[in-house]
């Protein structure tokens, strides 16, 4: 990794583009003195960048160069002797080739310029390889001058070579190239091909007060910038074409998907078996079905069931579960361990009113070890309704009332002593909702009693689903509310919100704020959120939390029958 000091040097030199290259090659301050021109050539391919860095490196890290300078200062006699020898005898004249003549253009070049020239092709070679170059050379040999169009051709040949070799034209390189052009065509003027940049201070003096800098100019710089601009435009055009093709492909795929979805819709409208294919086609159609539920102002489930008749299948609860998974509201899975954890936390953060005989009886029965799992879940659900009774006033048909604990429980589950009583329970629920002009929301029907659960059903818009048990029924009911975009029952909204936030970890922006479940039960959310799956059976008892001392005497109900 390049250290911060090396990065600062690159920034100061205007070579911030090379930071990643230096990091990749692990160039640190300790490495810089150990480098040489060969390594730098390999490290920095672009001429201009390399020239700038070489100039800095030679001045600060090239020991050979600095040693030569110090030895010259220390040995004045040697310098004088060398000078005398040179003046008396003189070295033999060296023949200069055309290539060297085109390259060596300044007596005391900076290392930037020298390196730019070394990396550039000789102009003779460059013009010889190009049709345009040969035309310009022949014309100059005949007329001994260039026209403006010829100058553009000269620049075109040079810039094309630079771009093809991915070399960036920097000011130092352009200055050297301008000198090479004038050397090749003596009647030309350097400033036509390159003009150095002007700083703010110098420009104020020259322009009579214009307080702004001027960038470098000339035909070389202008053509290079134009070429890069055209490349950028072309890249954007190609990118746009690619995006357009991708959109066309995406549209085609969506059309194919839409056709496939419609095939599934048609298949589902006439088939009920095999069930494996029903599941497959049902999953394909989740989006249009859930969008239909969400966007519909009519929340009458009868119409939905007519559109999607397979909801009426005896295994329709599986289809509701598939739609719920599509909504991606939660990753939590309700099971017995999670329910026990949920109930335990609620129980520790509340008190049973000893004057509520039904609650006391439920607590005593729950302490017994001789109860079934279904009875345990149903009794604990019933006890939660007593621990957290309705507090808020509700309004139905412009009439305000406060739901009782019994009504709160009945809106979640209803008891039918025998299977034949189930029809009576259903009819009673339908009439109750109809008289109050309320929607008939999903609820659970228990065959037997609170202590003896024989069968469990879920009723959704008068359709009955026989499910595996009380916990499965509660899970199916909860999912139905969200799949069909229904409101929780008025009397038990606070209990369903406890289940939603505590068990399923779902927090929605439009959830009601209910004060009675914000204090103690808020601890439930904090604790349950640390349990993303089922609670461990071996987990230690939770620390005793502060008890919720709310006075619930006013909410005591005189309900002691089994239906409670």
**Signed CA dihedral, 203, 206, 209, 210: sign only:** negative
Give the pair of three-digit tokens for residue 34: 């150990």
Query: Residues 34-41: contacts with CB within 8 Å, 24+ apart?
Result: 35/61
Contact 351, 549 (CB under 8 A): yes
Closest C-alpha among 537, 534, 503, 533 to residue 521: 503
pLDDT one digit per residue (tens) for the chain, 564 residues: 568 888 889 988 888 889 888 888 888 988 888 888 888 988 898 888 899 999 998 988 886 654 444 444 444 444 444 444 444 444 444 443 444 444 333 333 334 444 444 567 788 888 998 899 999 999 999 999 999 999 999 999 999 998 888 888 889 889 999 999 999 999 999 999 999 998 766 555 555 555 677 889 999 999 999 998 888 888 888 888 888 877 777 766 566 678 889 999 999 999 999 999 999 999 999 999 998 888 887 777 888 888 899 999 999 999 999 999 999 999 999 999 999 999 999 999 889 999 999 999 999 999 988 899 999 999 999 999 999 999 877 777 677 778 999 999 999 999 999 999 999 999 999 999 988 888 889 999 999 999 999 999 999 988 999 999 999 999 999 999 999 999 999 999 999 999 999 999 999 998 888 776 665 445 555 666 555 444 444 444 444 444 343 444 444 443 433 333
Question: For tokens 């010829």, what's the residue?
Answer: 150
Cα gap 26→449, rounded to integer Å? 77
Question: For tokens 């890290």, what's the residue?
Answer: 61
**pTM here?**
0.54
Sequence-ordered list of residues with C-beta below 8 angstroms from that of 428, at least 6 positions apart, any chain: none
């Amino acid at each position: 990794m390049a250290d911060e000091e090396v990065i600062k040097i690159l920034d100061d030199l205007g070579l911030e583009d090379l930071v990643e290259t230096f990091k990749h090659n692990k160039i640190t301050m300790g490495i810089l003195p150990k480098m040489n021109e060969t390594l730098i050539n390999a490290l920095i391919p672009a001429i201009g960048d390399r020239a700038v860095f070489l100039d800095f490196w030679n001045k600060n890290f090239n020991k050979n160069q600095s040693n030569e300078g110090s030895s010259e200062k220390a040995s004045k006699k040697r310098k004088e002797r060398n000078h005398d020898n040179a003046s008396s005898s003189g070295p033999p004249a060296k023949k200069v080739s055309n290539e060297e003549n085109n390259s060596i253009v300044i007596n005391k070049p900076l290392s930037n310029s020298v390196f730019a020239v070394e990396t550039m092709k000789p102009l003779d070679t460059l013009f010889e390889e190009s049709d345009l170059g040969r035309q310009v050379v022949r014309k100059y040999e005949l007329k001994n001058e260039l026209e403006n169009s010829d100058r553009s051709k000269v620049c075109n040949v040079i810039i094309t070579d630079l771009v093809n070799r991915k070399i960036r034209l920097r000011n130092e390189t352009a200055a050297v190239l301008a000198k090479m052009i004038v050397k090749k065509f003596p009647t030309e003027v350097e400033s036509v091909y390159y003009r150095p940049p002007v700083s703010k201070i110098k420009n104020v003096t020259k322009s009579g007060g214009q307080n702004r800098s001027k960038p470098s100019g000339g035909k070389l710089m202008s053509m290079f910038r134009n070429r890069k601009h055209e490349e950028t435009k072309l890249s954007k055009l190609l990118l746009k074409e690619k995006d357009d093709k991708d959109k066309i492909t995406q549209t085609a795929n969506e059309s194919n998907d839409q056709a496939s979805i419609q095939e599934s819709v048609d298949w589902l409208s006439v088939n009920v078996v095999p069930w494996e294919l029903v599941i497959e086609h049902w999953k394909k159609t989740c989006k249009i079905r859930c969008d239909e539920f969400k966007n519909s102002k009519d929340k009458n489930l009868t119409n939905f069931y007519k559109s999607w008749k397979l909801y009426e299948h005896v295994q329709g609860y599986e289809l509701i579960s598939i739609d719920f998974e599509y909504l991606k509201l939660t990753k939590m899975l309700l099971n017995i361990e999670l329910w026990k954890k949920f109930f335990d936390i609620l129980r520790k953060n509340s008190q049973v009113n000893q004057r509520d005989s039904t609650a006391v009886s439920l607590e005593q029965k729950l302490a017994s070890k001789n109860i079934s799992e279904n009875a345990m879940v149903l009794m604990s659900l019933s006890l939660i309704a007593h621990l957290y009774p309705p507090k808020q006033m509700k309004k139905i048909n412009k009439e305000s009332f406060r739901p009782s604990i019994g009504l709160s429980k009945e809106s979640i589950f209803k008891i039918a002593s025998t299977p034949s009583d189930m029809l009576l329970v259903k009819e009673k629920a339908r009439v109750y909702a109809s008289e109050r002009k309320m929607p008939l929301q999903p609820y659970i029907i228990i065959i037997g009693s609170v202590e003896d659960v024989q069968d469990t059903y879920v009723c959704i818009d008068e359709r009955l689903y026989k499910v595996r048990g009380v916990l499965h029924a509660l899970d199916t009911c909860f999912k139905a509310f969200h799949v069909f975009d229904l409101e929780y029952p008025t009397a038990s909204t606070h209990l369903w919100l406890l289940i939603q936030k505590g068990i399923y970890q779902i927090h929605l922006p439009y959830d009601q704020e209910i004060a009675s479940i914000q204090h103690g039960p808020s601890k439930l959310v904090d604790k349950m959120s640390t349990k993303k799956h089922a609670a461990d059976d071996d987990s230690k008892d939770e620390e005793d939390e502060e008890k919720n001392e709310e006075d619930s005497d006013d909410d005591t109900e005189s309900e002691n029958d089994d239906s409670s």
